[in-house]
Structure 1
């Protein structure tokens, strides 16, 4: 099996300057528990529903907190060649 056989091609991206409220809304809209975060054509992180719960909600952060403050920054990825 190859990555290209199971990967998602039409991926919605978050911007690190969006709020976690906007991120949660997009996650609900596309029924996803995780979304990549991109800036200037680069992958800069990944935001998961767990990131929102552990790094924002549990810490008492505002829903207007920026995605950059709670996203996971170390992301491994691959390309379809």
Structure 2
């Protein structure tokens, strides 16, 4: 099965010049903890609830802070024509719960989450979650 068969296609996108307040409101509207950031029809980052909490609120930045100041610019993604098994393994390896989905022209066409995988591929989702939960990832709380 391909990513395109499971991904969510209706994705809200923030712009780097949007405020974090606006991004947080979008997250609330779609009940998601992450929103892709796009500019000129290209994916340029991801903004997560954690980015807002740690890189903005904890640093005393105001709600009018621009998304581009706190987003994660090193975006991991997958392609719509990749096999679910490969993407699940990749998600576990890089310890992320969701990935933007691009077409081969590198245009954003959707987003795939661990929850999407769990619906159809419980074994792959379980393996990915196990790897995501390993200590020592990008956002570890250990020294």
TM-score band, normalised by shorter chain: over 0.9
CA distance in 1, matches of 2:74, 2:4: 22
Rg: which structure is higher? 2
Q: TM-score, normalised by structure 2?
A: 0.54
CA distance in 1, matches of 2:10, 2:25: 18
1:50 matched to 2:60:
no
Give the match for residue 67 of structure 2: 67
Secondary structure class of the residue paired with 2:44? strand
CA distance in 2, matches of 1:40, 1:48: 21
Q: Which has the higher contact order (CA 8 A, sep 6+)?
A: 1
Aligned residues: 81
Secondary structure class of the residue paired with 1:58? helix
Unmatched 5+ residue regions in structure 1? none
CA distance in 1, matches of 2:21, 2:68: 13
Measured against aligned partners, the alpha-carbon deviations of 1:14-43 in whole angstroms (never above 9, x if no partner) come to: 000000011111110111100000000110
Greater helix fraction, Structure 1 or Structure 2: 2
- Runs of 4+ aligned structure 1 residues displaced above 6 Å come to none
Unmatched 5+ residue regions in structure 2? 82-143
- Root-mean-square deviation (Å): 1.0
